[in-house]
Amino acid sequence: MKSTDESLEELGWTDFFSEQVSAEEAEQCHPVRVMAVHRGKIAVTGAGLQHSVTPYIPGALPSDDHPTVGDWLLIDNATLQPTRVLRRLNLFKRRAGDRHKEQMIAANVDTLFIVASCNQDFSVARLERYLVLARDVGVNPVVVLTKTDLTETPDAFAAAARAIEPGLQVETVNGRDPASAACLAAWCGKGKTVALLGSSGVGKSTLVNTLRGSDSIATQAIRASDDTGRHTTTVREMHRLDRGGWLLDTPGMRELQLSDAAAGISEIFDDFLLVAQRCRFSNCSHGSEPGCAVQAAIAEGMLTSERFNRWRQLAAEDSVAAAYLAKRRR
């Protein structure tokens, strides 16, 4: 199947997907993108068509990945039943509240907006957590710092974010002001999919509304007393922008739990891994072992103990999750 169809390209269809479809399949099926997932139904859009279809794929095992927002599916022309999920460019998952479970967040994302606000909610540890996820999944991250209108020092927040990783892209915006949010348009071109991740109340839905120039998503005033976000976004869905891109909002998250993200952790904390290679023992826990290069670097001021603690915390959390998953997959 060739990716010549203009309207499919607007949906994000590329050769990566078209090459997966055999000539035989192309005759019997048509590709559609999952726009929203509801209970028992998914909203899909293809070339000049929209359907609401069942998310169940004949013959799929319960352990198989089911369609999630952003996925490309093949739909049978006659029955309108999904026949299969096309291989994904990438997939965001997180550990759901129940630690045994993984929840799919979004598939086939070009750019991740990691949204945080310039107020007391701002946390480098939380940004690192989202960056680990972005690196692990292999998606280009952009840190978007909102609520610049509520602080005198937005540059200080931006500097703290930039210090996490050399070359990290950081934008500061007033999410309610279209002129201010316009700097984000660069990532939202035709056929591009941008997912927004961040804690509840940081202003994801507000950004989506501002970039779309509409006010169709419910946003809710957060409790002024503590800036704690309430859950305002309930359905995960793709929102179309006039210039052709797609924004994918995600429901309010209290805390992002990583699962199986060792590769991402290694990238964000590569400075620690580099130094750890010089530890005397290859299985050094960087505690009180003799000859620990990490502790030596901290003592010399080359590495900070704050970042060390965040690294150990993420690594410990991730290895517990990874062990769980390995057991379940066996």
Ligand X SMILES: Nc1nc2c(ncn2[C@@H]2O[C@H](COP(=O)(O)OP(=O)(O)OP(=O)(O)O)[C@@H](O)[C@H]2O)c(=O)[nH]1
Q: How many CB atoms are closer than 10 A to CB 10?
A: 16
183 annotated as belonging to a binding site for a ligand:
no
Q: Which of 42, 170, 196, 294 binds Zn ion (CB under 5 A)?
A: 294
Identify what 239 binds: ligand X, Zn ion, none; CB under 5 to 8 Å per kind: none
Cα(288)–Cα(300) distance, integer angstroms: 16
Virtual CA dihedral for 108, 122, 172, 91, nearest 10 degrees? Answer: 0
Site size toward ligand X, by CB under 6 A = 24
| Chain centroid, CA 275 distance in Å | 29
| Residue partners of 327: CB distance under 8 A and separation at least 6 | none
Tokens linked to 45? 């859009």
Q: 254-283: which residues touch ligand X (CB under 6 A)?
A: none
User: Smallest gap, in angstroms, from Cβ of residue 108 to ligand X?
Assistant: 21
Q: Which of 31, 175, 245, 264 binds ligand X (CB under 6 A)?
A: 175
Query: Can residue 206 be called a binding residue for ligand X (CB under 6 A)?
Result: yes
172 annotated as belonging to a binding site for a ligand:
no
- Backbone torsions φ then ψ of 49, nearest 5 degrees: -150, 155
241 touches 11 (CB < 8 A) = no
Cα(162)–Cα(171) distance, integer angstroms: 10
Identify what 175 binds: Zn ion, ligand X, none; CB under 5 to 8 Å per kind: ligand X
| 34-42, 104-112, 171-179, 321-329 -> range binding ligand X (CB under 6 A) | 171-179
- Tokens 């120039």 belong to which residue? 213
Query: Can residue 200 be called a binding residue for ligand X (CB under 6 A)?
Result: yes
Tokens linked to 187? 């990532």
Cα(153)–Cα(168) distance, integer angstroms: 19
Query: Can residue 150 be called a binding residue for ligand X (CB under 6 A)?
Result: yes
Cα(183)–Cα(171) distance, integer angstroms: 8
Identify what 141 binds: ligand X, Zn ion, none; CB under 5 to 8 Å per kind: none
Identify what 78 binds: ligand X, Zn ion, none; CB under 5 to 8 Å per kind: none
Query: Can residue 223 be called a binding residue for ligand X (CB under 6 A)?
Result: no
200 annotated as belonging to a binding site for a ligand:
yes
Q: Which is nearer to ligand X, 234 or 285 (CB)?
A: 234
Cα(115)–Cα(174) distance, integer angstroms: 12
Q: Which is nearer to Zn ion, 155 or 289 (CB)?
A: 289
Query: Can residue 74 be called a binding residue for Zn ion (CB under 5 A)?
Result: no
Q: How many CB atoms are closer than 10 A to CB 117?
A: 24
Q: Which is nearer to ligand X, 233 or 295 (CB)?
A: 233
Identify what 257 binds: Zn ion, ligand X, none; CB under 5 to 8 Å per kind: none
Query: Can residue 222 be called a binding residue for ligand X (CB under 6 A)?
Result: yes
Q: Which of 12, 46, 70, 252 binds ligand X (CB under 6 A)?
A: 252
Q: How far apart, in Å, are the Cα atoms of 84 and each of 53, 75, 168?
A: 13, 8, 36
Query: Can residue 18 be called a binding residue for ligand X (CB under 6 A)?
Result: no
Residue among 168, 165, 208 nearest 184 (CA): 208
Q: 259-288: which residues touch Zn ion (CB under 5 A)?
A: 279, 284, 286
- Tokens 């490309």 belong to which residue? 72
Query: Can residue 203 be called a binding residue for ligand X (CB under 6 A)?
Result: yes
205 annotated as belonging to a binding site for a ligand:
yes
Q: Which is nearer to Zn ion, 37 or 292 (CB)?
A: 292
| Residue partners of 123: CB distance under 8 A and separation at least 6 | 116
**What are the residues binding Zn ion (CB under 5 A)?**
279, 284, 286, 292, 294
**What are the residues binding ligand X (CB under 6 A)?**
146-147, 149-150, 174-176, 198, 200-206, 219-222, 229, 231-233, 252
